Amino acid sequence: MEYICCHCKRKKSNSGWVKQKADPAQRHSHGYCPECFQAMMEKIEGHVGMDKAIAESCVVSL
């Protein structure tokens, strides 16, 4: 089975993640390469931080 990054489309090989077309004859699975995973986690953490700040600013004291 081939593993392909769903963001940058690089393929996992024995030597790491390489820019290469997937073999249509093989089964494949999508995920994230380490670089794209880190970038997406930073993006998600940024959104979570913004959501928390917005939620805290909307709290009404009684």
Whether 60 shows a pLDDT value over 90: the answer reads no
Domain residue ranges in the chain: 2-57
Segment 2-59, tens digit of pLDDT: 899 999 999 998 888 888 877 778 888 889 999 999 999 998 888 777 777 777 777 6
Q: Which are the contacts of 40, defined by CB distance < 8 A and separation ≥ 6?
A: 7, 32
Q: Which are the contacts of 60, defined by CB distance < 8 A and separation ≥ 6?
A: none
pLDDT of residue 10: 92
Contact 27, 4 (CB under 8 A): no
pLDDT of residue 35: 95
- Tell me which of 19 and 60 has the higher pLDDT: 19
